[in-house]
Amino acid sequence: MIDLHTHSTRSDGTLSPGALMREAGRSGVTRIALTDHDTIDGLDEARCEAEKDGIAFVAGLEISAEYSPGTMHILGYGFDEENERLVDRVRYVQAARERRNPKIIEKLNRLGMEVTLDEIAAESGGGLVGRPHFATVLLKKGYVSKRQEAFDRYLAKGKTAYVDKVRLSPAKSIEVIRNAGGIAVLAHPLQLRAQDSEALDAVVRELADLGLQGMECYYRNHRKSDEDEFLVLARRYGLIATGGSDFHGSNRPEVHLGTGEGRLRVPPACWTALQNAIEGSRPN
Ligand code: AMP
Ligand code: ZN
Ligand code: FE
Ligand code: FE
């Protein structure tokens, strides 16, 4: 099996990069990408472990782009991990996160919940701190009875403890990845929450004009009809099709490596197309 979208403790997953690769091995995943949000810190550990386990590995990351009312995430694959501009942009969004987290704490405190930044950071396994870690602590301390309730009541966009995140523009997200020799891919197109297929077509066309190279046609919760629609769109704009589970470990227990919520199967052609694209984008 193939899985091109996974998260470790370096962002908001619950398995370390190494443990994630071992879990992949146990799950029958033989080709994988690690795509943590806003960080490339886990790539070395993951690559090293994948090599030991005989799993083919591709470097990735997931960037949150400015977009509304839905969510736009751009995945990057096979970039030069030492590229200065990429490293610099990643540091920039990380620094913004560090300013954001105390603001979320402040809001929660004001709402009467006793939580500290240390408690939240302790949930992050040493990686980036984000809303999923806040949700875990609210659950553990009994302020909510389910993780989802933490989002629905407090942490989701527009709710009482929400603080906006610094994001890169779609153009910048794509540019940063491509400038580093990587492949830029639109993640989970359903999360754009486009009104209809024409609206989605327009967004994808715009992104393709900005240099987008791929689209995540296969995803943990896609139905056959979603896959079919996205494959048509991808072909229309000359994008490669990719796919993955968006595995987050026990932060999303219903999602499994390789198979997502059950029906996900990423075709081998996705892996080949991505490898060819990466190969083709290497500077000579
Ligand atoms: P952050 O990067 O700190 O803004 O956190 C984003 C992560 O929080 C996403 O990747 C999701 O895992 C989770 N998340 C955001 N909004 C929701 C929501 N409405 N319901 C459940 N999880 C959410
Ligand atoms: Zn995530
Ligand atoms: Fe995402
Ligand atoms: Fe993701």
In tens, the pLDDT along 34-88 reads 999 999 999 999 999 999 999 999 999 999 999 988 999 999 999 999 999 999 9
Q: Is the CB–ligand 1 distance for residue 37 below 6 Å? A: yes
pLDDT above 80 for 283: no
Greatest Cα pair distance in the chain: 58
Q: Is the CB–ligand 1 distance for residue 163 below 6 Å? A: no
Q: Is the CB–ligand 1 distance for residue 130 below 6 Å? A: yes
Nearest CA to ligand 1 atom 23: 151
CA distances from 155 to 37, 136, 192 (A): 18, 11, 19
Cα gap 36→43, rounded to integer Å: 9
3-state secondary structure of 87: helix
pLDDT, tens digit, for every residue of 230-239?
A: 999 999 999 9
- Report the separation in Å between the CA atom of 131 and the middle of ligand 1, taken as the mean of its atom positions: 6
3-state secondary structure of 84: helix
pLDDT classification of 282: cutoffs 50, 70, 90: confident
pLDDT, tens digit, for every residue of 193-235?
A: 999 999 999 999 999 999 999 999 999 999 999 999 999 999 9
Contact (CB, 8 A) for 266 and 58: no
**Averaged over 241-256, what is the pLDDT?**
95
CA-based R_g, the chain, Å: 18
pLDDT classification of 284: cutoffs 50, 70, 90: low
**Averaged over 2-15, what is the pLDDT?**
96
Q: Is the CB–ligand 1 distance for residue 12 below 6 Å? A: yes
- Report the separation in Å between the CA atom of 169 and the middle of ligand 1, taken as the mean of its atom positions: 19
pLDDT above 70 for 11: yes
Using a CB cutoff of 5 Å, list residues around ligand 2, an ion. 7, 12
* Mutational pocket test of ligand 1: of 63, 155, 250, the residue with most ligand atoms within 8 Å of the beta carbon: 155
Task: Output phi, psi for 270, to 5 deg.
Answer: -65, -45
Nearest CA to ligand 1 atom 16: 156
Give the model's pLDDT for residue 241. Answer: 98
Q: Is the CB–ligand 1 distance for residue 156 below 6 Å? A: yes
Question: Token pair for residue 9?
Answer: 């403790």
> What is the number of the ligand closest to the CA of 186?
3
| C-alpha 162 chain-centroid distance | 20
pLDDT, tens digit, for every residue of 164-195?
A: 999 999 999 999 999 999 999 999 999 999 99
**Averaged over 129-157, what is the pLDDT?**
96
- For the entire predicted model, the pTM comes to 0.94
Q: Is the CB–ligand 1 distance for residue 178 below 6 Å? A: no
Q: Is the CB–ligand 1 distance for residue 131 below 6 Å? A: yes
- Report the separation in Å between the CA atom of 202 and the middle of ligand 4, taken as the mean of its atom positions: 23
CA distances from 77 to 62, 133, 227, 266, 278 (A): 9, 26, 21, 16, 8
For the chain, the average pLDDT equals 96
What percent of the chain has pLDDT above 70? Answer: 99
> What is the number of the ligand closest to the CA of 74?
3
